[in-house]
């Protein structure tokens, strides 16, 4: 069932892309033979400060009519803010009509070293709230666009605040939007037991600030008899996560996007996840 056939409210969808995958997605959209891409309203483009879109790629992106969101890569919002990275991102997106920028909280680089999967989580306390909010305001001023912040893929907790409370406090202090990554939050619950697995029951004051909900795959395995969560976007999105998402949607503003952040997954897997979400929204 497509959204055009639905009589109930169906949210707008975004698709995640990198500089390497963007052209293929644009061409499939313009060709018109990909049912899912025909139902997509926005692209969430992961972009590093040194990357550049060619004029041809910019033209293809404009032809799609997609709204553009830029997911920044390796910017430390929870520590020292590298102004050179910000300047590079502003240059890279100069001719793009970016609706907002976004980035996961945490420490992603250490000096000239990219930490990758060894990134550090934000410290969950009031001092961190204040410092992170200051960085967010600086980013918005430099980029001249809103900045939304995302709950990171976190394997352990530092500080005395819960992640839900921390995210709400940062958004209020910085007056910014939030991105709620469902795989990250479920994984954080697996690792720490701090995040509720019943999101709809939470009287969370951050709901109204959520502008985007990320659907990303993850692995949950046993290692030495203990549960281990691994952030891995191409993994299948299983039914408990779909249920978690569908519980969450009534808490969000109608304008909040659902982003299929399944980079690396097959088109068939993305189509299946999209169809299950549409079915869930129509059946609710």
Determine the 3-state secondary structure of 71 from DSSP. strand
Among 223, 148, 216, 213, which Cα is nearest to 187's? 216
pLDDT at position 117, please? 78
Per-residue pLDDT of the chain (284 residues; tens, 9 = 90+): 444 433 356 799 999 999 999 999 999 999 998 999 999 999 999 999 999 999 999 999 999 999 999 999 999 999 999 999 999 999 999 999 999 999 999 998 888 888 887 888 999 999 999 999 999 999 999 999 999 999 999 888 889 998 899 999 999 999 999 999 999 988 888 778 765 555 555 688 899 999 999 999 988 888 788 777 788 899 999 999 999 999 899 999 999 999 999 999 999 999 999 999 999 998 86
pLDDT of residue 209: 96
Q: What is the pLDDT of residue 195?
A: 55
Residue 193 is given by DSSP the state S
The pLDDT of residue 198: 56
pLDDT of residue 5: 39
Chain position carrying tokens 């410290």 = 123
Paired strand residues for 158: 123
141 to 21, 86, 134, 145, 209: CA distances (angstroms) = 29, 10, 11, 7, 19
One DSSP character per residue, 93-150 reads: TTTS-EEEEEEESSB-EETTEE-GGG-BPPEESHHHHHHHHHHHHHHHHHHTS-EEEE
> If you count them, how many residues does the chain have?
284
């Amino acid at each position: 069932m497509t959204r055009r056939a639905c009589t109930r409210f169906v949210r707008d969808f975004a698709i995640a892309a990198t500089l390497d995958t963007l052209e293929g997605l644009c061409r499939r959209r313009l060709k018109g033979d990909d049912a899912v891409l025909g139902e997509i309203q926005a692209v969430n483009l992961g972009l590093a400060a040194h990357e550049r879109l060619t004029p041809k790629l910019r033209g293809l992106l404009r032809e799609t009519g997609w709204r553009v969101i830029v997911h920044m890569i390796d910017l430390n919002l929870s520590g020292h803010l590298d102004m050179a990275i910000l300047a590079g991102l502003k240059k890279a997106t100069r001719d793009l009509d970016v609706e907002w920028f976004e980035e996961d909280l945490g420490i992603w680089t250490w000096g000239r070293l990219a930490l990758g999967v060894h990134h550090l989580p934000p410290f969950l306390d009031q001092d961190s709230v204040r410092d992170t909010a200051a960085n967010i305001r600086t980013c918005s001023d430099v980029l001249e666009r809103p900045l939304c912040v995302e709950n990171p893929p976190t394997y352990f907790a530092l500080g005395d605040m819960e992640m839900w409370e921390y995210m709400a406090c940062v958004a209020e202090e910085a007056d910014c939007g939030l991105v709620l990554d469902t795989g990250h939050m479920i994984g954080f619950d697996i690792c720490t037991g701090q995040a509720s697995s019943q999101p709809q029951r939470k009287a969370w004051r951050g709901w109204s600030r959520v502008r985007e909900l990320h659907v990303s795959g993850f692995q949950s395995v046993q290692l030495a008899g203990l549960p281990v969560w691994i952030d891995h976007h191409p993994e299948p999105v299983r039914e408990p996560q779909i249920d978690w998402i569908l519980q969450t949607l009534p808490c969000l503003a109608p304008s909040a996007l659902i982003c299929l952040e399944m980079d690396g997954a097959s088109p068939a897997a993305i189509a299946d996840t999209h169809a299950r979400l549409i079915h869930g929204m129509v059946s609710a």
